């Protein structure tokens, strides 16, 4: 598979690893939620993107919606606790997250969910990651984004102003505190032509 996505030719592939997470900027949201954002967290993201695109075990998923079975509008791959991650850069990324957030989170990130948005028609609808402890406890979900830029939207659960974060190639966003139960997030469909984007979501045990 080749991708329509063309990253910067100057994108480093020198194996320098993720940029220090101390550079992430925190925004406090209402109701005990926050997000940390670090643009350009992963150098060499071009190569990572291509490797994930071609080698992750992408699968389609369908879900029952009332009396219909509909395809989920994105491809998925999931790495459970203890599964080997599909790329050494993801091992480095997870190690960096574990070190930086150890004290605040009190546990390591355990699973990695991958989503492939093939083009602007792929999306994820408004939701919180609430299957599990995220519905009752503060937690963190860390998302690495590679490939085409897409906005991640956040809005308070039950209504309120939407916050928009453009997630670019190699960028990190961490949703923390009460974010999964008091806020919702979405990747909307885009009418503009968009190349493929892959997101990698690191979550602690029991958060989904
Ligand atoms: O692709 C993203 O950045 C978000 C994915 C997401 O919200 C999820 O899989 O729960
Ligand atoms: Fe989510």
Evaluate whether residue 13 is within a structural domain: no
pLDDT 10s digits, 124-138: 999 999 999 999 999
Evaluate whether residue 2 is within a structural domain: no
The CA 201 to ligand 1 mean position distance, Å, reads: 7
Evaluate whether residue 51 is within a structural domain: yes
ipTM of the complex: 0.99
Task: Summarize the confidence of residues 68-87 as an average pLDDT.
Answer: 96
Task: Summarize the confidence of residues 138-150 as an average pLDDT.
Answer: 98
The CA 129 to ligand 2 mean position distance, Å, reads: 5
Total domains present in the chain: 1
Evaluate whether residue 9 is within a structural domain: no
Does 1 have pLDDT greater than 60? no
Name the CA radius of gyration of the chain, rounded. Answer: 16
Q: Going by CA atoms, what residue is nearest to atom 2 of ligand 1?
A: 199
Q: Is the distance from CB of 45 to CB of 7 less than 8 angstroms?
A: yes
Tell me the helix, strand and coil percentages in the chain, rounded to 5. 20, 35, 45
The whole-model pTM stands at 0.92
Per-residue model confidence (pLDDT) at position 48: 97
Can you name the residues that pair with 176 across neighbouring β-strands? 34
Evaluate whether residue 11 is within a structural domain: no
Task: Name the band, by pLDDT with cuts 50, 70 and 90, for residue 9.
Answer: very low
Which residues have any ligand 1 atom within 6 Å of their CB? 113, 115, 124, 129, 143, 145, 152, 185, 187, 199, 201
Does 3 have pLDDT greater than 70? no
Per-residue model confidence (pLDDT) at position 24: 98
- The number of CA neighbours under 13 Å toward the Cβ of 10 is 1
The CATH number for 147's domain is 2.60.120.590
Per-residue model confidence (pLDDT) at position 20: 97
What CA–CA distance (Å, rounded) separates 137 from 93? 24
Evaluate whether residue 12 is within a structural domain: no
Evaluate whether residue 85 is within a structural domain: yes
Domain that residue 38 falls in: 23-204
Evaluate whether residue 16 is within a structural domain: no
What DSSP assignment string belongs to 54-96?
HHS--B--EEEETTEEEE-SSEEEEE-TTPPPS-HHHHHHHHH
CA distances from 87 to 45, 51, 76, 179 (A): 12, 8, 16, 28
């Amino acid at each position: 598979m080749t991708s329509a996505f063309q990253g910067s030719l100057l994108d480093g592939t020198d194996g320098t690893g993720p940029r220090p997470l101390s550079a992430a900027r925190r925004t406090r949201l209402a109701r005990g939620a926050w997000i940390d954002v670090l643009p350009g967290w992963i150098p060499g993201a071009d190569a990572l993107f291509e490797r994930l695109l071609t080698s992750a075990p992408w699968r389609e998923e369908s879900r029952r919606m009332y009396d219909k079975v509909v395809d989920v509008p994105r491809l998925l791959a999931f790495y459970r606790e203890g599964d080997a991650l599909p790329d050494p850069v993801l091992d480095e990324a997870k190690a960096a997250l574990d070190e930086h957030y150890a004290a605040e989170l009190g546990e390591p990130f355990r699973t990695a969910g991958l989503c492939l948005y093939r083009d602007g028609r792929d999306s994820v609808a408004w939701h919180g990651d609430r299957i599990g402890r995220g519905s009752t406890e503060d937690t963190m979900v860390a998302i690495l984004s590679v490939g085409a830029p897409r906005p991640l939207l956040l809005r308070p659960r039950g209504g309120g102003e939407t916050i928009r974060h453009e997630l670019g190639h190699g960028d990190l966003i961490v949703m923390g505190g009460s974010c999964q139960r008091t806020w919702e997030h979405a990747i909307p469909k885009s009418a503009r032509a968009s190349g493929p984007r892959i997101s990698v979501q690191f979550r602690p045990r029991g958060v989904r």
